[in-house]
Amino acid sequence: MNEFKVRASSWGSLFDCAHRWEGEHILGMRKPSGLRAQLGTGIHAGTAAFDSGNLTGAPITVDEAAEVFVQALKNPEQDVDYKQDDLTILDAEKIGLVLTVKYCTEIAPRMDYVSVEMPLEPLLITCGDVIVKLTGTMDRARVVRSAGGKVINDLKTGGRVIANGAVVVQGRSAQLGTYQIMSEQTDGEATVGSQITGLQTTSKAAVGVSRVFDAKRIMLGTEDEKGLIEYAAGMFKTGLFPPNPQSQLCSQKYCARWGTCMYHE
Ligand code: SF4
């Protein structure tokens, strides 16, 4: 059997433009990320250091978390195209510092985390003679008493993660539902839903936490409706990864397959 090892964090984009996903994750087409993505990586590093310290009983200060952010921003582990986004390093540093401080002082104190950056046991999906092996770590898990149990929480950074005062959850279920399933098979504990913490990386930096939503149901399906896993299995079985030229990421800037894809205008 052929095995495809895929990071669970990429899984959501399979259902955006499957053709782009195939190009990047099966055919190995690569495109350097932009500074805005590197800003997100830095914010993840600073906030994870802060939450890990609190969870393990070795807390760090907000200033120390901010320093972790700056070091991660300025020392990328992969290629960064600094011309891709309309953003300077100085702007990125200013925005990231505001967001890291807002997160540590406004969000983290009310979250009751039970895990931070937990490695997950791989999820194997058999698709005919192909096995898809989803791997990854989960940003956070927390207990939400009003929701009745353990909730998977994912940090999202970007320019449009908050709209009309609410954190956007649209299109997040494939990734978050995968994390719910992987979390449950890793520690045997049931999850009751997923949630997004949004950190808006614009000059009007803002943070927020979404409502809890049932992402696992969308992955697994119901008695009457197929889940996304079944649709994904169909793509791998047939080798048909359809293009979506209406994707918001269908552009030379974001798609590694743009140069050879005939489906965009
Ligand atoms: S150019 Fe557009 S349609 Fe083609 S693979 Fe990229 S995102 Fe999909």
For ligand 1, the distance from its centroid to the CA atom of residue 20, given in whole angstroms, is 5
Asked, for residue 68, whether it belongs to a domain, the answer is yes
Asked, for residue 252, whether it belongs to a domain, the answer is no
Angle between helices 89-102 and 35-55 (to 10 degrees): 30
Asked, for residue 189, whether it belongs to a domain, the answer is no
For the chain, what is the total number of helices (H) and then of strands (E)? Answer: 8, 10
Asked, for residue 3, whether it belongs to a domain, the answer is no
Reference 193, options 176, 172, 175; nearest CA is 176
For residue 225, the 8-state DSSP code is S
What does the pLDDT average to over 101-129? 93
Spatial distance between the Cα atoms of 86 and 224, rounded to a whole number of angstroms: 46
For ligand 1, the distance from its centroid to the CA atom of residue 243, given in whole angstroms, is 6
Residue nearest atom 1 of ligand 1, based on CA coordinates: 258
CA dihedral 118, 217, 22, 117 (to 10 degrees): -10
Provide the residue type at 116 as one letter. V
- State the number of CA atoms in the 13 A half-sphere of 151 facing the CB: 24
Do 32 and 78 contact (CB within 8 A), yes or no? Answer: yes
How far is residue 71 CA from its own chain's centroid?
21
Ligand 1 binding pocket (C-beta < 6 A) is: 17, 19-20, 23, 243-245, 247, 249-250, 255, 257-258, 261, 263-264
Give kind and range of the element (H or E) at residue 86: none
CA distances from 238 to 36, 232, 234, 235, 242 (A): 35, 10, 6, 5, 11
Residue nearest atom 2 of ligand 1, based on CA coordinates: 250
- Paired with 123 in beta bridges are 134
Residue nearest atom 3 of ligand 1, based on CA coordinates: 245
Instruction: Output the pLDDT for position 127.
Output: 83
Provide the residue type at 32 as one letter. P
Provide the residue type at 149 as one letter. G
**What domain range is 94 assigned to?**
32-110
- List, for residues 180-239, the tens digit of each pLDDT value: 999 999 999 999 999 999 999 988 889 999 999 999 999 999 999 999 999 999 999 999
Spatial distance between the Cα atoms of 46 and 109, rounded to a whole number of angstroms: 15
Spatial distance between the Cα atoms of 81 and 147, rounded to a whole number of angstroms: 41
- Paired with 4 in beta bridges are 132
**How much is the mean pLDDT over the chain?**
93
What does the pLDDT average to over 58-79? 96
For ligand 1, the distance from its centroid to the CA atom of residue 84, given in whole angstroms, is 18
Do 263 and 243 contact (CB within 8 A), yes or no? Answer: yes
Provide the residue type at 259 as one letter. G
Do 191 and 183 contact (CB within 8 A), yes or no? Answer: yes
For residue 263, the 8-state DSSP code is S
Asked, for residue 103, whether it belongs to a domain, the answer is yes
What does the pLDDT average to over 147-166? 93
- Quickly state the pLDDT bin for 56 (edges 50, 70, 90): very high
Spatial distance between the Cα atoms of 85 and 75, rounded to a whole number of angstroms: 18
* pTM of this structure: 0.91
Asked, for residue 22, whether it belongs to a domain, the answer is no
- Paired with 167 in beta bridges are 162
Asked, for residue 143, whether it belongs to a domain, the answer is no
For ligand 1, the distance from its centroid to the CA atom of residue 264, given in whole angstroms, is 6
Asked, for residue 127, whether it belongs to a domain, the answer is no
- Which of 10, 15, 20, 27 has the most ligand 1 atoms within 8 A of CB, as the residue to mutate? 20
Domain tally for the chain? 1
